[in-house]
Amino acid sequence: MGAIIFFYWLISALVSGLIGWLIGKSKGRGTAGFWFSFFFGVIGWIIVALLAPDYAKMGKIQCPFCKEWINPDALICPHCHQELVKRDAGSK
């Protein structure tokens, strides 16, 4: 009987962790989303949903003028409207 309860808990925790991973993945925090949800269940989902996105992991860069996170292919910052200078791949 104890084994059945353990496996039920394990499957529930894994499914909860998977849902948390999906929530966190959209914010660049998939691993944190999995573990918060694995251990805390629905409360973990709420915690992950309230976490600030990790823009660096999402491939964003900071505008050198206003420090907002932007798409690396942007030619003009959508926040401060400054023209961005593109670096060549060979220059440092």
Q: How far apart are CA 37 and CA 23, in angstroms?
A: 10
Q: How many domains does the chain have?
A: 2
Handedness of CA 55, 77, 71, 87 (dihedral sign): negative
- Render pLDDT for 27-74 as a digit per residue (tens, 0 to 9): 889 999 999 999 999 999 999 999 988 888 788 888 999 989 898 888
For 16, the enclosing helix (H) or strand (E) is: helix 2-25
The answer to whether residues 10 and 48 belong to one domain is yes
Q: Which residues contact 76 (CB under 8 A, 6 or more apart)?
A: 82, 83, 84
pTM of the predicted model as reported, rounded to 2 decimal places: 0.68
> Which structural domain, as residue segments, surrounds residue 18?
2-52
For 70, the enclosing helix (H) or strand (E) is: strand 69-70
